[in-house]
Amino acid sequence: MAIKNNYIRIEYLVFLCAVSAFGFVTENTYYLQIMTFIGINTLLGLGLNMLMGYTGQVSLGHAAFYGIGAYTTAILSGTYGINPWLSLVCAVAAAVFIAFIVGLPTLRLSGYYLAMGTLGFGMIVNIVIREWAAVTGGASGFVGIPVLEAGPLIFMSGANYYFLVWGIVFAAMIVCRRLLASRTGRALRAIHDGEKTAVAIGINTHLLKLEIFIFAAALGAVAGFLYAHFVLFISPESFGFMFSIKIVTMVVIGGMASVWGALLGATVLTLLPEVLHGFAEYEMIIFGTVLMVVMIFMPQGLTRGIMDMIRTAGRART
């Protein structure tokens, strides 16, 4: 166990050093911007992976919490002039409250019924954002979001914002890892393996599922906050059904029940549109094809698949 813990510490230390080195060495604003988007998407993937990968609960409306976080901070800081850092607290509180209200009845469902319930929730949030034009800006979008500041530091697109985002991502990964290593993490895996069995051994499955649903919503709201103050303009299209599907695809491609899978999936699906910039009309077809190929040849996701390939190559060499 001690060896495993040391390995995990080294793993995260290498990751932290690599991210820091990239931020200090790279001066290209475009690369920093892409890496910032990867970090924001990783936060979304981490939350959904905790819910879907470890607990086995499918959500097709996760982009709704992303939108709630983004629009709450945009309205409070852009319209009412509230300090953005205070609006972050309000954004997370709003997402947590709504997750509690929605999750209380919805998480009593399972399988396809749960997926349809969360899908309906996501569609309702998107419709509210579109139709409440007097507050949200409607289909035209919301402008006037202020830049983040902390004393002399100004967080605009560049190294400062890059370090802010990846610092939060690193903290979220540590929290997820700690949670999974605890008694709660073992209970989550028990629910994933068999909810009836988990109930039989005394686990309050509904409460635990609700807590993880709220945790995922909070991470989604933080990601929405970071996105809004990064692009300084938001519109309903960024938080619709197709983006919820994209987050699910990130989790599945990267590898469910893997903290690193969220990072890998977010990296692949954020870079793919940039690589295929000239084929935007075929984006969904390409995403679907990539998903099919990964599911056929690496059903456990890229993280597990790559590790298996490395082990196989090592055995062959031996």
Q: What is the pLDDT of residue 2?
A: 44
Q: Name the one residue in this structure whose structure tokens are 């996501």.
A: 122
Residues in the chain where the model's pLDDT stays below 50:
1-3, 7
Spell out the alpha helix ranges (H) of the chain: 2-25, 29-48, 63-73, 84-106, 111-131, 133-136, 159-181, 183-193, 195-200, 205-231, 241-254, 259-275, 283-297, 302-317
Output the furthest CA–CA distance in the chain (Å, rounded): 67
Q: What is the pLDDT of residue 280?
A: 67
Residue-range domain boundaries for the chain:
2-240
Q: Using one digit for the tens of pLDDT, what is the confidence trace for 177-226? A: 999 989 999 999 999 888 888 998 899 999 999 999 999 999 999 999 99
Taking Cα atoms as reference points, which of 227, 229, 212, 203 lies closest to residue 175?
212
Residue 7: both structure tokens together: 């390995």
Tell me, yes or no, if the pTM score tops 0.85: yes
Residue 303: both structure tokens together: 């993280």
